[in-house]
Structure 1
Amino acid sequence: MIGWYRIERDAWSHDFFKPSPMSEREAWFWMIGRASYEDTTHRVGGEPLECPRGSFFVTLRELQSVFMWQSDTKVRNFLKRLEKEKMIERTTCGSRNAPKTHVTICNYDKYQSPERTENAPKTHRERTKNAVKKQDNKKQDNSLGEPAGSAPKKGSRLSEDWTLPRAWGEWAVGEGMAEFSVRREADKFRDFWIGAAGAKGVKTNWQATWRNWIRKSIDDAQKQNKQHEKPGFVDSGAFGNIREVC
């Protein structure tokens, strides 16, 4: 799954959800939501300290309370692992009796920049449009079906009990071939490919192979008709072409 979505900060305090201990993933999302979205200041022990965008001040006890974890040791270990993975940076501020941790979310702007927020609807529409187009293309490719016993994606041989799909025959008629000729070509097509030896008889798309077969058959028939029409030849039926004697 790719992409991203916005979520309101007050979702964490919504009355619908029953308070319960957070998972580490939920705790991480909470920290991102807690980070300041713009540069500001925060008082620690009465002293105003800079709090840059993407960071926040917090005590370990507060995190333990919000996460609803049983011990501050779990909180400390969680922060250490986030720091090790370069997901956060942290420093300790204030007096020893009332310290606070300054947490900075690494790569905050990568996911929370105004540009990404403003372009989110357009990006979502484009991704949705591309996904629908891709799905429609896939449906169109499979609309006429594949012959029984074939596996076009991996390559397969034509099944010995193959019969011409109705849609394939209708396509051939639409190309200008007579129905009886289509049936005859289907018989020739089946016998030829069932008898083909080795890799020659393996195809990844039998429908495309059928279309090429029909196109070649039509082209060959047209060439033959043109040959019959050449000067110096007459059509003599079953006896073939006989040159006229002048």
Structure 2
Amino acid sequence: MAGGTFAVSRGLFDHPFFADEAFTEREAWVWLLAEAAWKPRRVRGRYGQIELERGQLAHATRFIAVKWKWSEARVRRFLARLKSDAMIDAVADAQTTRITICNYDEYQKMNRVVDADNDARNDAQTTLARRSNDARSTLARRKEEKGENIEGKETPIGVSKNRGLRLPSDWALPKDLADWALAEGLSEFEVRREADKFRDYWHNVPGKGGIKLDWSLTWKNWVRKAVEGRKRTAAPGIRDASGNLTNKFLFARG
């Protein structure tokens, strides 16, 4: 028989073309070669994790018997023969049988270069995925700092979903908030005045005291306090609808 090696796909044993029947001894041997770890890895055992080196596999005899469609006794006899011929080393414990393929590299000569290529390709893909995740995290953080959410939709200026923000230096009262203040009872003059006071006050509050999660709500609370204060201090007829002092008040003072 000609020497040398050839590659066989591990999917051979699950290929739908072949009948689901008991293994021959040759097929059982090829299955052991295919099942062995081609690089160090960790597998789950009955009582915990099992560390495998290259060329090792670990299975319960019952599991192997089911895969090969043999009796457990026949599996044990076959493994014993392989061990006596120095083809494998087998050590059994309470949970599994650890099998080491002797001269595993001789059976996997073709895979040495392929495995190295696969390792390099997998490492490159892992590195690329990690860098992509890092880039997405950085982009999300920058968007959040700019007042945008992760999906890229703009968040209203002065609103932060996670961390507070200071009032923007170029803040101007939005029309919807001005209309809301008018509906609360302030005149146009009072709305403009309160907006100026609001901006000047919060721009001059130092440290954490000047940080708010939602400046729209802060403005509304500011307006409510202004309305309540006006109701407590203002007498009837002192100001007109524009917030100016009435003639009645001026003449009364004169």
Determine which structure has more spread, i.e. the larger CA radius of gyration.
2
The interval holding the TM-score normalised by the smaller chain is 0.3 to 0.5
TM-score, normalising length from structure 2?
A: 0.42
